[in-house]
């Protein structure tokens, strides 16, 4: 992947920066430049997403795309953040068989892709279960 692709998305991937339409009171993530129903983006204001939420739904990826094959099986979930915004991301540090819908999660900064041994490292957000206790894998 060319490095400009991930660089361009740093604000949203690194800091969960969204936009909120002042007219419709609606949050957009990834951020949009133009609000639906408007001809420009003047009603869109920067909005910081919270970093806690619950698992809205999830699936376990057993047969992944080639760049994620060493991570299988892994979980991709839809997370409902505490402000009601839903985001999609990997759920890390978890046993897929014990994960539950409604489980509390925290959003953490993680490596998302490595692009082989020589490419740029892509960072971003993943959810991790906000649970206590000890497990064994």
Partner 1 sequence: MVGIVGYGAKIPRHRIKVEEIAKTWGADAPSYKKGLQLTEKSVPAPDVDTVTLSVEAARYALKRAGISGTEIGAVYVGSESHPYAVKPSGTIVAEAIGAVKDCHCADYEFACKAGSEAMFTCLGLAKSGYVKYSLAIGGDTSQGAPGDALEYSAAAGSAAFIMGAENVVAEVLYTHSYMSDTPDFWRREHEHYPQHGGRFTGEPAYFEHITGATKAILQKSGMKPQDFQFAVFHQPNGKFPMRVGKMLGFTKEQIVTGWLVPVLGNTYSGASPLGLTAILDIAKPGDMIMMCSYGSGAGSDSFVWKVTDRIKEVQNLCPKTRPQLDEHKIYVDYGTYAKFRKKILKNK
Using alpha carbons, select from 8, 137, 27 the residue that is nearest to residue 73: 137
82 touches 52 (CB < 8 A):
yes
Is there binding between residue 97 and partner 1 (CB under 8 A)?
Answer: no
The CB-of-124 to partner 1 minimum distance in angstroms stands at 10
| Nearest-angstrom CA–CA distance, 96 and 76 | 10
Nearest residue (CB) to partner 1, 14 versus 22? 14
The CB-of-121 to partner 1 minimum distance in angstroms stands at 6
Is there binding between residue 132 and partner 1 (CB under 8 A)?
Answer: yes
Element housing 55 (H / E): strand 52-61
Is there binding between residue 39 and partner 1 (CB under 8 A)?
Answer: no
Site residues, partner 1 (CB under 8 A): 10, 14-15, 70-71, 92-93, 108-112, 121, 123, 126, 128, 131-137
């Amino acid at each position: 992947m060319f490095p400009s692709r991930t660089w361009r998305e740093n604000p949203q991937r690194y800091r969960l920066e969204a936009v909120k339409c002042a007219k419709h009171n609606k949050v957009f993530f990834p951020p949009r430049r133009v609000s639906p129903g408007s001809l420009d983006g003047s009603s869109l204001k920067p909005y910081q997403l919270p970093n806690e939420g619950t698992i809205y739904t999830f699936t376990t990826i057993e047969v992944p795309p080639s760049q994620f094959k060493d991570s299988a099986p892994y979980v991709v979930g839809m997370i409902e953040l505490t402000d009601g915004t839903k985001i999609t991301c990997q759920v890390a540090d978890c046993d897929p068989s014990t994960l539950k819908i409604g489980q509390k999660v925290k959003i953490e900064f993680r490596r998302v892709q490595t692009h082989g041994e020589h490419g740029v490292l892509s960072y971003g957000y993943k959810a991790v279960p906000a649970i206590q206790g000890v497990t064994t894998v």
